[in-house]
Chains A and B, each alone.
Chain A
Amino acid sequence: MDDSMQSNPEKQEIAEFVGISDEMELFSDIPKKFRKTDLKISPGISEYEVISRALSIGELNRGPDMINFLGNGIYDRVVPSTVDSIIGRSEFLTAYTPYQAEMSQGALQSLFEYQTYMAELTGMDISNSSMYDGFSTLGEAVRMAHRINEKRDILIPANIYDDKQKVIESYLYGLPVRLVRYSVDSKSGFINIDDIQSRITDDTSAIVVEMPNALGIIDENVPKIQQIRKNALIIAYVDPVSLGMLSPPGEYGADIVAAEGQQLGIHMNFGGPTLGILSFRKDYVRKSPGRIIGETVDSNGKRAYVMTLQTREQHIRREKATSNICTNQALMAIAATVYLGTVGPSGLRKIAETTYLNSRKLKEKLGGLKVADKQQLTGKPFSDVLVSFRKDVNGLQEFLSTRGINGGLALSRVSSGAASDVRNGAFFSTTEKTTDGAIAKLAEALEVF
C-alpha cells in the first residue's frame, strides 16, 4: 500500500469528506498549461537503499582517518558525547522557533543560558541567541555598526581572509559604506597601530580587529586599539576557544564581538552547520539583529522565558527591521551551551592552553626543518601556525595528502592580502587533539618536500 488517496483507506475517507474523487480537483486553480508533466528524479527507494547509497558515496571521502592539521576557522576539536546526545533529542531537534513560549520553555531556557555563556565569554553585556556562521555574523556586525553611527568607513585588516571580506561586502552591498584596509607588520604579524591611526577620520564607523588574526597570531597590538579609536566602534572577531585563556574583547574596548562558534562542540561538518556568535554592549541592543530571549514571569509570578525585543525583527518591522534573519542556528547554540556546561571553565582553559602549547611545539619543530625559511613571524600563534618555506608551497597540501596528512594550507589560498608579506607561507593548525607523534610524522614528511 502506498500513502495515496487511491490506496490508503484513511486518505479515501478524507477525500470523500472534502468531496473530491480525483486528486487533480485539488489543483483545479492551477492553469492546465502550467501543470508539470515530468519530474526528472528517479522513483523513490527504501530506507535501506537510501542509507546504502549514502554510505557508498561517503566512501568517496577521505579525511576522517587522516592526521589533521587543517584549521583556519573550522577546527578538529573534541566533541563531548553529551553534546550529540542532547542535540539529538527530538524535543530540541524537531521543534520550530519557540513561538509558543509556554510549550517551549526548554529551548527558551537553554538559549537564555547560551546568551549568558556568550556574554560572559566575550566580556560583553548581551549576546543574541545565534546567527548563521562566523563570516555572515561579521557582515551583520558591520551593518550594525553603520546603523549605530551612520558613518561611512569600516577599517579592516589588509590580510583579512578573502572569503570573509567577500561575505562582508555582500552584507554591505546596499549601504553607503566603504571598506578601508589597514596594514599589518610583516615581521611580527601584528596589526599596524600607526597605520590604523592615520586612517581614522570623523567618518570612520568601525575598526575590525581579529584575535587571533588572519596570520594565526595572538596580536599583541590589538589591545592598543582602544587608545587610538576616537569615536569609532570596535568590532572584534575572535576565536571563542582562545577566550578560555585570552582576555575577553570587552576588556580591550570592543563594542561588538563576532565569532565562529563551530569549535564549541560542533563537528566540522564540511563547514556547516556551524554557529555565528554576536554579542555587544547594552546600549546597542535596539540596533542589533537576531532573536533575543528574555526572562520574565508568568501570570502566577513564576519565572518564564520568552523571545523579546521583537519590535526590531522582520515579522513585525518588515522593511524597517534591523535584519532579515528569521531562522537562525538555535540547535548549534544549544550544542555550544552543552559543550561549555560539560567542559566547564577549567576545561575550556585547558583546551585553550593545550592548543597554544601544541602550536608553540609545532612551530618550533617545523621552524627548525631544512625546508623552512630562516625568517619566521615573531608573533606567537594560538592555533593556526604559519610556517614560511624556502620553496613554493603550491602543491604542499597535495604532497601531504598522499602521505595521509591533511594540512599545509597555502596562505595565498585564504588571504591574497597577506601573501606578499609572508613568503611561501603555509598553515598547520593545532587543537587539544594534536599529539607529539602527529607533529613528528608531519615533520618527517616535510623533510622530503
Chain B
Amino acid sequence: MAYHEAVYDEPLIFEYRSGTTYKLPGVEGKQKIDLPENLLRKELNLPEVSEYDVVRHYTRLSQMNYSVDLGIYPLGSCTMKFNPKYADAIASFRQFSEMHPLQLQSETQGELKILYELQEYLKAISDMDAVTLQPLAGAQGEYTGILITRKYFEVKGELGTRTDVLIPDSAHGTNPASAAMGGFNVIEIPSSENGTVNLDALKAALSEHTAAFMITNPNTLGIFEDHIEEIAKMVHDAGALLYYDGANFNGILGVTSPGIMGFDIVHFNLHKTFATPHGSGGPGAGPVGVKSHLKDFLPVPVIGKDGDRCFLDYSAKHTIGKVSSYTGSFMVLLRAWAYITYHGSDGLRRNTVNAVLNTNYIRKRLEGRFSIPYKTLKKHEVVISTENTGIRALDAAKYLIDQGVHAPTIYFPLIVHEAMMIEPTETVSKQDLDRFVDALIESSKLSPEEVKKHPMNLPVSRPDEVKAARDMKVRWDGSTHGN
C-alpha cells in the first residue's frame, strides 16, 4: 500500500491575521471596569484569526497526524485498539456533557448510575471488592495505590519501618516514579533468564521494610508471571501488599484476574483496555480497585447505591482524601461503560483471546528473522530485538512509519537491547498484521545507510532532538517563518 501523509508548510496560528469573526453574546465595545489600574490587563498579545482560518489551520494539522482510525498502531503496553464510535456518540449527549459536578445528587442520578455500574463492572472484571473512579490517568491511579499503601501501614503503625517498594526491572517507568512520589525507596528486582521475576532476588529483597511489590502481569515482555501464586505468598508472608499495574490487562481480561491471583490493589487504564480514545496524549482514566481490607482507604467519594438511588459515599473511615477535583473523568468513564456494556462478558473475553492470538501470530511470523528473547508464548505483546539484523530499532521504526504503519514502542523494556515492543490488540485484520510484519522484515533487509534515510514520506524527516533540548524553544517567539 503506497502511503504519503498530507504535507503542508503550515504556519503557526500566531502567523494568521485574518481577524476574529466569531460572534459572542455579551457587552459590546470598550467597558469601564471599576477596578484598580494595576489589576487590569494592559495587553494580550494573541492573534485575531477568523473562524474559517482556525478550522482550516487545525484541519490541516490534523491531517499531519497518524491515528488509530488510520490503521494499526502497535505501541507496546499502550493497547491502541479501535475506539468505537457509539462511545463517541454517547459522550456527545448533552444530558451527560452539560452537567455540573456541584449539582445536587437528586439531579445527577443518571451520571451516578453510569459511575455505579462502571464500578460494578470493574469489580466483576478484576475480582476486587471496591473501586474508585477518581484517578485521572494510569499514573495517578498508581499514585493513589501508593497513597493507600502508605495510609494502610500508617494506620497499622508500621509506616516507620515499611519504607521500600519493590519493582521489577522490566516495569513501566511510572511505577518507580509513583512509588518515589509517595516517599518510598524503590528497589529494583532483576528478571530471571526466562523473563519473569527472579524469585530468589525477590525473596532476598523482601523484609519487614517492604511496603509493596508492584508488578504487571502479563509483564512488559508479554509473558505471564506463572509463579504469581508463590510471589503473592512471599509478599503477603512479609506483611507487604501486592500491587497490580493494569496497563497490560488486555492480555488476561476474562481469562484470569488480579483478584484471583492474590493482588491487593489494582489500577485500570480505561484508555487502553477499555478503548477510550487517547486524544494525542490524554485524557485517560485510572480507576483503582482494592480488596476488602483496603476498602476504607479509598479516596472519597465512591458511588454507593441504596435501592434505586445512587449517592456519593464519603464513609470510608481511613480515606486518603482526594486525588482530583471531582468524581473522575466522567466522559472517559462513560465511554468505558459503553464499551463494556456493548461487548459484555462474551465479547470482552473474546477480545482478549483475539489480542493474544494476534500477538502470537506476529511472534511466529517474526521468529527466525529477529531474536525474540525469553519464553515463546506471549500474551498481549511481544518484545523483539533488532540487534541480530544489524539494524537499529530506531531505524526500523522510522522505516515503518514511512510505510504508513505506526512503529511499536522502542527501547523498552530496558532489559532487551534494541527492543521493539509490539502490541497489535484484537482490532486489526490479518491483512494489516501482515502489512506490518512485511514492512518490519523489509526494514531488516536494508543496509544500515539506506534505512537511516527514512522517513521520507512524512511532513518532516528526522528531527534534531539535541537542538530542541539545547535551544529550548518551547513557545513562539514572534518570528515568522515565511513558509
Contact = CB atoms under 8 A, between A and B. Distances in A.
Contact of A327 (B224, B283, B401, B458): B283
A327 B271 contact: yes
A315 B173 contact: yes
Interface stretch (B137-145, B290-298, B384-392): B137-145
B340 interface: yes
B160 interface: no
Interface string A54-74: 110111111110101010111
27 contacts: A26-B357, A43-B346, A45-B341, A50-B338, A51-B90, A61-B107, A91-B67, A97-B282, A102-B401, A103-B401, A105-B459, A112-B12, A244-B41, A269-B96, A270-B108, A271-B328, A272-B325, A272-B330, A294-B469, A299-B463, A306-B463, A313-B173, A321-B173, A329-B279, A331-B279, A332-B282, A354-B27
Contacts of B252: 27, 30
Contact of A82 (B51, B174, B340): B51
A327 B284 contact: yes
Contacts of A112: 12, 474-476
Interface string B105-126: 0111111011000000100110
B341 A53 contact: yes
A44 interface: yes
Interface residues of A, number: 197
Contacts of A349: 41, 44
A72 B186 CA distance: 39
B174 A324 contact: yes
Interface residues of B, number: 193
A34 B229 contact: yes
Given A294-B469, A296-B463, 17 more contacts: A20-B357, A33-B229, A39-B349, A50-B342, A61-B95, A91-B62, A125-B475, A268-B97, A270-B99, A270-B327, A291-B281, A295-B471, A309-B469, A327-B139, A341-B54, A345-B44, A345-B48
A344 B357 contact: no
A304 B333 CA distance: 35
B150 to A, nearest CB: 6
A103 B73 CA distance: 12
B13 interface: yes
A239 interface: no
A385 interface: no
Contacts of A316: 173
Interface in A291-317: 291-300, 302-306, 308-309, 311, 313-317
Contact of B358 (A14, A102, A328, A341): A14
A132 interface: yes
Given A42-B344, A297-B464, A247 B39 contact: yes
Contact of B472 (A40, A80, A85, A294): A294
A409 B102 contact: yes
Max chain A CB contacts within 10 Å: which of B256, B409, B460? B460
Contact of B283 (A57, A329, A344, A357): A329
Contact of A94 (B83, B174, B326, B347): B83
Nearest to B454: A102
A101 to B, nearest CB: 5
A325 interface: yes
Interface string A138-167: 000001000000000000000000011011
Interface string A106-141: 110111110111011100011101101111100000
Contacts of B13: 113, 337, 341
B457 to A, nearest CB: 9
B481 A30 contact: no
A54 B90 contact: yes
A126 B143 contact: no
Contacts of A285: 472, 474
A83 B68 CA distance: 21
Nearest to A164: B325
A342 interface: yes
Interface stretch (B233-241, B316-324, B442-450): B316-324
Nearest to B228: A34
A59 B110 contact: yes
A271 B332 CA distance: 11
A99 B421 CA distance: 13
Contact of B338 (A23, A54, A104): A54
B60 to A, nearest CB: 8
Give me the 8 closest cross-chain CB pairs, A-B, nearest first.
Answer: A174-B183, A331-B279, A271-B326, A271-B101, A330-B281, A44-B344, A354-B26, A58-B95
A232 B357 CA distance: 57
Contacts of A94: 67-69, 83, 277-278
B181 A174 contact: yes
A448 interface: no
Interface string A23-41: 1001111110111100111
A107 B10 CA distance: 13
A311 B279 CA distance: 23
B331 interface: yes
A406 interface: yes
A299 B461 CA distance: 6
